[in-house]
Every structure is written in C-alpha cells, then in structure tokens.
Structure 1
Amino acid sequence: MVSTLSNLKNRKKLPSPATLRQDLLASLVVFLVALPLCVGVAVASGVPAELGLVTGIVGGLVVGCLPGSSLQVSGPAAGLTVLVLEAVHEFGAGALGALVLAAGLLQIVLGALHFGRLFRAVSVAVVQGMLAGIGLVLLFGQLYTMAEVRQPRSGVDKIMGIPDLIATVATDADALVPFLVGVGTIAVLVLWRKLPAGARAVPAPLVAVALATAVCALAGLPVATVEVRGIAEAVRPPGADAFDALGSVAALGTVLAFALIASAESLFSAAAVDRMHDGPRTAYDKELMAQGIGNTVCGMLGSLPMTAVIVRSSANVQAGARTKAARVLHGMWLLLFAALLPAAVGVIPLAALAGVLVHAGCKLVPVRQIVPLWRQHRGEAVVLAVTAVAIIATNMFEGVLAGLLLAVVKSAWETSHIQLDVRESADGRLTVTAGGNATFLRLPRMLETLEALPEDRPVELDLSRLRHLDHACRTVLEAWAEQRGATVEMVTKV
C-alpha cells in the first residue's frame, strides 16, 4: 500500500507531455543559439573550436542536472574570453585545464561556505563596468580577426592600432574581403530583430553564420575558416606539469579571477532570469556549487571555463522552457553535433565568428544606461567608467579590483556625512554641535571649521548627536581640545 502511494506521488511529479514538448522545442532553440557562440568564444580564446563545444556540453549535461537555478543555461561566455586569452598566452594552453579546475574547486568551497548570497552585494556599477571593459576589449580585438590581422596583446594597443587597421583594410584586398564578411554578419544580426516574429523564431547568430558560410562557399571567397581537430584530439586533460604553474602568484590571481568573475556573472544572470519567469527561484549557494562542479569537470577535460550565460538563458525562458530538461537536452544536441558533424565546423569563416563576437561585445557595453546613470547617480557612473578603463589599461582582475576599491571608497564617503553647527550664547561662549557620521574621511572639513574659531572665546564641542565616531576622529578631536586648553569642554555620548 505504501509502495503504491509512493508510486502515485512520483507519477504526479513527472512532467506532462505538454511540458516535455515545450522543453524539447526550447532545447532546440538554445542549441541553435549556443552552437555559433561556443565555437566563436573558443576561437577568440585561442583554443581549438571543439573545446567551446565541450564546455557547452558540460554546461548542459552536468550543470543542467544539478540544483540551483532551473532555467538558466551554462557554457563558455564572451565575458571570460579576454581573460582566457591572456591566460593561454601567459601560461600556455596546456595549463588552462589546471587553472579552470582550481577555479571550479574554489567555487565549490565558496558555495559550501554560503558565499553565494554575498555576490549579490557587489556594486551593480562595478559589474556593468566589468562587462563594458570586457565588451570593448572583445569588440576592438575581434575587429582585427575580422580582417585576418594579428591583434595586439593589450587592450590599449588594440584601440590605438585601429587607424592602422583601417588603413590595412582600405589598401589590402586580402584583409578587405574577410572584413566585409564580418561586417555582413554584423548587419544580419542587427537587422534580424526588425523582421516579423515568425522569421525571428530562428536564432540570429545561427542565420548570420550560416549565410556568411554559404556566401563564402558559393562565391569561393579566400577567407580563413575554423580549424577542426575533433573532440578526441582537442580534449587534453591537464598533466602533472600543468599544475606546477599554479605555484606562481600570477597563476593564483588568474584562478581567483576565473572563480570570482564566473561566479558573479552566473549569479547576476540567475537574478535576471528569475525576473523573467514565475517558476522556482534560484538557490544561490547551490547554483554556485553547481557552477563549480561544472568548471571542475571542464578543467579535467582541459576545456574552457563556464558561466551561466544570460543570452542562452533568456532564449531558454522566451522559448517556453518549463524544467531543467530543456538545458540538459541542449547539451545532448551539442554532443550529438560534435560527435556526428564535426566537419561542419570546419567550413565556418573566422570572420563570421568574429562578427558575432563584435556584436556580442557591443551588447556588453551599457550605452543606454550610461546617460541616465550620469544624471541620477554620477558617483556610480564614475565607478562604471573607472572599472571599464582599468580593465582596458591593465587586465580583468586588476580592473575589477580597482572598481571594487573605488565603490567601497565612494560608499564610505557618502555614508560619512557630518553636520557642524556653530552657535554663540549670550555670554560669548561658542557651542559646536556635530551630527552624522564622523570618520577620517571628513577630518579635513571638521578641522577647518574648528581651527577657524576665535582662540579668545570659550568653546564647547558637543558630539552627543553623532551616530558614529571612529578612532581617528576621536584621537584628533581630543588632541585639538587639549591644544585649546581649559576653554574647551567636550560633551559626548558616543
């Protein structure tokens, strides 16, 4: 009897045929969106194209089955492209797996220690600045790839070299032809949104890449295509020597950057996806651990790091996905494609993928939000701009740290408001009443007011209205009071 009731309960939990049908359709849409992005991110990261598919497969089949968020989709992200490319250049492609594995383990530990919710406390301006910096570096870097010209290493050099790139494209037919293929790809991506809803059912990246591939093949255009090695040859689990690189400070900084940026992007994506549907909300600590497990598996396979990606996740929700089955099935379609049709990747022009990533880089820059943000919260706009510029001028990790530091300083400055009120009594006695929060950041203003008081008048300094008085302020005020001698009376309840 108990067994029968248990079976009945389990049957009630099974999704209905309508739900399964909706998940199946959604998985196909997400697969078509993910395919060109997985390949494009891998190529832009300086690794074999197949590794992008491997990360997408792990994001679907592994992370897709784990608890956390039900509808967001994980895979290789354009937001980590710049950092991965830097890591491959500095440590070599063989060490990438070890770096990603270590980052995944760190994410698991952070999730187990309930750090998932803390990522929600990161300043939105820092995140927007991070994405803007990544987007600009990605955008300018992929312009060189569109022209089949070797791109400079640093973000500043990428931007400063644009005039020379324009001259090369204008004078060299070998650069002009692939560049026009990339421009055409971007044009399709931009114009696709203006078509009727029925036509937009097919994902724009897939259409843009397919059209560019067909035009290049039919016209016989001399453009470079993606190199295909096959998953079996591309997957290289890290050896013992790969882990030796983790002993350097630079490598540990890269691991920390992988873990923090991937975690932040995933959890911010989860918050955005939660606003798109009325289903179960994200369990942030579990989602962080799920991302860590996924990156650990990717590291074992020597593949790219993963994050939850808002583009694929929103496509999943908008396609009507109901359960985790949609994202798991999308991983299965990627696996079948990589196993049965790997040669199909080899005909894709590099310029077309670069065009997709240029478009993706533009979307990472919050152009529409900058002007309203400047009008309403100029401090936040400054944090955004400084973070973006710092990422371009240095690297991802240092740029984000600079943004976080500025955000903390800004918050400390804004919360340390202090009001000083000077009143004179009938007997000539001056009373200085301080209110608000007295921190070391406001010491210059406080001392300027106090030192401007007449020295031949008795003064009473009333600190009873202060909500906070830090040690630095107390020490300096006591020293100032001592210098004024017996004419000063300090009243404090802080």
Structure 2
Amino acid sequence: MQNGNSIFSRLEVRKYILKKNLKRDLPASIVVFLVALPLCLGIALASGVPLFAGIITGIIGGIVVASISGSQLSVSGPAAGLTVIVLGAVAALGSYPIFLLAVVLAGVFQVILGMIKAGTIGNYFPSSVIEGMLAAIGIILIMKQLPHALGVDLDFIDERLVASGGTSVFADLSEAIQNINIPAFVITVLSIAILLFWPKIKKLSSIPAPLVVVVLGIVAAILFQQSGQALRASQMVEIPVVNGAGEFFSLFTMPDFTAITNIKVWEVAITIAVVASLETLLSIEAIDKIDPMKRTSPTNRELVAQGIGNMASGMVGGIPMTSVIVRSSANVNAGGRTKISAIFHGSWLLLSLLFIPGILNMIPLACLAAILLVTGYKLARVSLFKHMYHKGWDQFVPFVITIIAVLLTDLLKGVAVGMLLSVFYLLRTNMRNPYFYKIHQEGDNKNLRIKLSEEVSFLNKAAIQVVLNKIPKETNVVIDGGNSRYIHPDVLETIHNFKHSAFSKGIIVSLEDIKDHYTVPIVDDMPIQNLKNHK
C-alpha cells in the first residue's frame, strides 16, 4: 500500500511541476517559434535548398530532438554555420537527394560519437571562449538584422563581417541607412520599445512581449498599406502555402541510397557530422551557462539526439541541424524552463505550415528583426565586457580575441583561435607555477632548496630548465619532490641531467623524495559509485 501511495505521490509531483513550468514554457515556445520561423526559411534560402527543407528541419529539431535530448533549454534546427557546407555539398554531389543521403549518414556518425562518449570534449572549452562566442553571436545578430530593421532587402544569413563575395556588413549597413524604409523603421522602433518596456508593466507582463510585437507588426503593416505606404513582399515573412495533404506530402524528398558507394557522400557526411557535433557541443556549453537554474546537459545523449534528428531530417528532405544558440537564448530570455518549450515550438512550426501560412505571411520582417536585435544585445551587453575585464587579462584577452575572430571568420574558426590563445595563457601559467623555492645563506655558502609542486607535467620542463641554468656556481642545491604525486619523465630527465653536469660548476645537487619513475595518478571514483548505489 505504501508503495502504491509513493507512486501516486510521485505522479502528483510530476503533474504539479509540469503544470507549473507550462505557464512559462508555453509562452516561451511561441517566442522561439516566432524567432525560428524566419531563420529556418532564411538558412534554407542561403543553403540553396527548398524553403520547405528549412521548416521541416525546424519541426524535427523541435519535436524529435528535444524529446530525446537531456538538455532542458536547447532548441535545435537548421544552423547558419552549416550553410556554406550545405551549399557546396549539394553542388559537389550533383543532386539534392544524394546530399540527403550524406545527411542521414552524418546522423549515424553522430549517434556513434555519442555512444563512444565523445561529448565530453565540450567540457574542455574555457568559459572566456564560450562567453566570447556568445557575445560575437549577439553582435552578428545586431549587425545582420539592422538592414531588415531599416527595411532594406539585404542578405542577413552570412555569419561573417566580411562575406566570401567580398561584401562587408559595414557596406550593407551604409547602404541600408541611405535607403531606409520609413514604415519598416517605425515598426522596428515601436517593437523594440514594447520589448523593453512591456515586461516592466506587471499587469501586462503575463502576455509575451514578442507576441505583442508580432500583432503590432501585422496591424501596422495593414495601416501602412491603407495609407499607400505598403511594405514590399520581400519585407514580409514568406512560407510555402500548402493546400491539402497530397500537396503537403509532395514537398518531401527521399535520399538517393544508390549513391551509397560514392566516396564524396561519405566525405560530406563526415564533415557535417564533425562540424555539427562541435557546434552542438559549443552551443550546449553556452546554453548551460545562461540557464537560470544552472543545470548541466548530458553531452553524449545530446550527440545521440542530434544524430537521430539528422537521420530523420535527411530521410524526409531536411537539411542538417545543430543545437542553435540563437533560438536557445531566445528560449531562456522568454522564460522557458523545460524541453516542453522546444517541443511546442516544433509543433507550432508544423501547425503554422499546415493551417495559417497566409497569416504568417502578413508578419513584417522588421518586427522579427527587433526581437533578434534585443536578443543580440542581451548576449553582447556592455556589462559582460566589464565583467570579463575585471576577471583579469588571461580571461579578457581570449574573450575579446574570440569575438574578433568569429566576426572576421566564422563560428568554428573563431572559437579555435580563442582556444589557441587560452592554451597559450595556460602554458604560461604552468611555466610560472611548477615549483616554489627558498634560498638560505650560511656564511660564504649558498643553500638553495627547490620544492616541486604536486603535479609537474612536461609543460613545466622549460621553466624548470631555465631556473636550473641560472643557479650560480658553488651552490648547494636540494630538489625536493616530497609534495609531488606525479613528475613527468621529461622533467625527471632534466633534473637528472642537471645533477650529473652540475659538478663542473661546483654545484652540489641532492634529490629528496624524487622517484625514478612515476605513474599517472588515477582518480578513485568508488565514493561516487557508492553514492549512486546508495538507497
């Protein structure tokens, strides 16, 4: 009887938690849907694939991936960072169905990566680099959405300040300012004002500000049309209008499995799997950092979820997906609490495609651009730069360099540059902190004691060698390894070589508690296992 009561109470608790979170997740899902819709369409357009492919990828990313994923706030869908890969791969493979086969295989590779627990690589990215990536994405959002906010028809998908064609965002912005569209600009200003001040009104804050922005945008567009200042079709949302189930299913494209022996298909699949996995792991790391509840997402499970999502996407004509920080951050900022928000956002995408394409096509891109402008500022807020500066140069410099590198290249290259700089600071820190020493003067004799730290890796070899070479002649040296659990063989060789050669300078070297060989210390996880097994 007690067991039955226990089960009943657990179900009640789960229902309570679901109901409590649903009040936040449902409005947040609408916000994410409104942000994701134009991005799905725009990324598909930039990738050179049917617009339907972008929407179907967003639907699968929301419903399928979110259901499997262990991340509560991550939102998956087509990623701008993959547009160049997709565009080039479709051209190289010669047909879209063959490319879809590569997407399916990429999903298989991601599932394998998750099963062999390759997701832990995301734990080795420094917080300064992750924060820099977030800030760079925020700046990109702001600069790429400004043309739409001003009502100018310019490409906003490329993630770089200087695109491959040589055009720059600064040139685009200059052109946008010179050709500003008054109706679109007015809608943008009003939308930003609502986004900033609406949540501060307690009686109205229960209604999502972005939803108000969209309604305002539709009404404003109608009023401008009636006054003879209608927005152009290119300044409005545009999705395929589906009439009937037959037309809907005709939009699906199946992969061409006859190309399974094509080596280029496997090359593209591996490239997509690696890039999509890295972007997902970076995004998951960043999402966990902005999670108000500070939860940690299981990265290996996320790779499996992404792999299954890409397999499903490739099977029905979609493009590759990743966990996307833009949609995920919009989810956090809108108050999302659980994966229900992401699942609902996928459902809204599906329902909108089926039932209300005409209404969605009435939404001006200017009000959606305003939502992204505010989201971008929250990611790259001024207070973040101040915070990173106060943390020290070893944090601030990689942070800033990551931002600059992402802006000038792309997401992965920029993060790689930030990682290299972080490794440089790590090496410098290790070189400075492999030991500490004391010098004792006794009459005419010099006594020097060098006390090694607990862990002495090969990174410390150069610093120790420099100190040993600077020891003055006729000095008594004691190298103390009493506190050392591990000394790398290269460092041991350096110490022993110094001991053998020091007599030529009149230096007498004594070694205390230094072994001839050290084994790498293994962390004992038995207490953790015992804790897990404890009932």
TM range (shorter): 0.7 to 0.9
CA, structure 1 residues 364+182, in 2 after alignment: closer, same or farther (shift >3 Å)? same
Structure 1 residues 28-84: Cα deviation after superposition (integer angstroms, max 9, x where no partner): 423421221111222442436654543443244323443635x5363337xx43x03
The amino acid across from 1:72 in the alignment is L
Choose from 309, 324, 327 the match for 1:294. Answer: 309
Partner residue of 2:293? 275
Choose from 389, 406, 418 the match for 1:403. Answer: 418
The amino acid across from 1:229 in the alignment is P
Structure 1 residues 258-307: Cα deviation after superposition (integer angstroms, max 9, x where no partner): 11221342365357658279xxx865544443343223323333135142
Partner residue of 2:179? 172
Structure 1 SS opposite 2:439: strand
Choose from 102, 105, 108 the match for 2:108. Answer: 105
Partner residue of 2:510? 491
Flag structure 2 segments of 5+ consecutive residues without an equivalent. 243-247, 515-535
Partner residue of 2:83? 85
Choose from 137, 160, 168 the match for 1:155. Answer: 160
CA distance in 2, matches of 1:368, 1:197: 25
Partner residue of 1:40? 38
Partner residue of 2:137? 134
CA contact 1:192–1:204 (8 Å) conserved in 2: yes
CA contact 1:387–1:400 (8 Å) conserved in 2: yes
1:219 positional shift: 0.7
Partner residue of 2:404? 389
CA distance in 1, matches of 2:86, 2:461: 47
1:222 positional shift: 3.2
CA distance in 1, matches of 2:52, 2:221: 22
Structure 2 SS opposite 1:222: coil
Partner residue of 1:341? 356
Structure 2 SS opposite 1:380: helix
CA contact 1:40–1:49 (8 Å) conserved in 2: no
1:491 positional shift: 2.7
CA distance in 1, matches of 2:292, 2:354: 33
CA distance in 2, matches of 1:433, 1:65: 57
CA distance in 1, matches of 2:450, 2:15: 72
Choose from 319, 324, 327 the match for 1:303. Answer: 319
CA contact 1:73–1:316 (8 Å) conserved in 2: no
CA distance in 2, matches of 1:38, 1:85: 16
CA distance in 1, matches of 2:217, 2:307: 36
Choose from 198, 206, 212 the match for 1:201. Answer: 206
Partner residue of 2:520? none
CA distance in 2, matches of 1:132, 1:427: 59
CA distance in 2, matches of 1:259, 1:109: 11
The amino acid across from 2:509 in the alignment is M
CA contact 2:42–2:157 (8 Å) conserved in 1: no
Structure 1 residues 426-462: Cα deviation after superposition (integer angstroms, max 9, x where no partner): 452543524336556555654554444444x254352
CA distance in 2, matches of 1:67, 1:90: 29
* Range moving further from structure 2, 160-169 or 34-43: 160-169
1:229 and 2:227 are equivalent in the alignment: no
CA distance in 1, matches of 2:270, 2:237: 32
Partner residue of 2:481? 464
Choose from 170, 185, 192 the match for 1:186. Answer: 192
CA, structure 1 residues 165+74, in 2 after alignment: closer, same or farther (shift >3 Å)? closer
Structure 2 SS opposite 1:423: strand
The amino acid across from 2:222 in the alignment is A
CA contact 1:294–1:306 (8 Å) conserved in 2: no
1:327 positional shift: 5.3
Q: TM-score, normalised by structure 2?
A: 0.73
1:338 positional shift: 1.6
Partner residue of 1:72? 73
The amino acid across from 1:205 in the alignment is P
CA contact 2:59–2:350 (8 Å) conserved in 1: yes
1:16 positional shift: 8.4
CA distance in 1, matches of 2:321, 2:26: 23
1:247 positional shift: 4.7
Partner residue of 2:127? 124
The amino acid across from 1:303 in the alignment is I
Structure 2 SS opposite 1:263: helix
Partner residue of 1:256? 274
CA distance in 2, matches of 1:202, 1:100: 39
CA, structure 1 residues 338+246, in 2 after alignment: closer, same or farther (shift >3 Å)? same
Q: CA RMSD in A?
A: 4.1
Percent identity, please: 21
1:389 positional shift: 1.9
Structure 1 SS opposite 2:238: coil
CA, structure 1 residues 45+180, in 2 after alignment: closer, same or farther (shift >3 Å)? farther
CA, structure 1 residues 135+315, in 2 after alignment: closer, same or farther (shift >3 Å)? closer
CA distance in 2, matches of 1:419, 1:31: 55
The amino acid across from 2:418 in the alignment is G
CA distance in 2, matches of 1:473, 1:257: 37
Choose from 359, 365, 381 the match for 2:374. Answer: 359
1:473 positional shift: 3.8
Structure 1 SS opposite 2:220: helix
CA contact 1:35–1:53 (8 Å) conserved in 2: no
Structure 1 residues 393-427: Cα deviation after superposition (integer angstroms, max 9, x where no partner): 22222222222333344334334403243334445
Q: TM-score, normalised by structure 1?
A: 0.78
Flag structure 1 segments of 5+ consecutive residues without an equivalent. none
CA contact 1:383–1:407 (8 Å) conserved in 2: yes
CA, structure 1 residues 334+154, in 2 after alignment: closer, same or farther (shift >3 Å)? closer
Choose from 219, 237, 249 the match for 1:214. Answer: 219
Partner residue of 2:59? 57
CA, structure 1 residues 134+23, in 2 after alignment: closer, same or farther (shift >3 Å)? closer
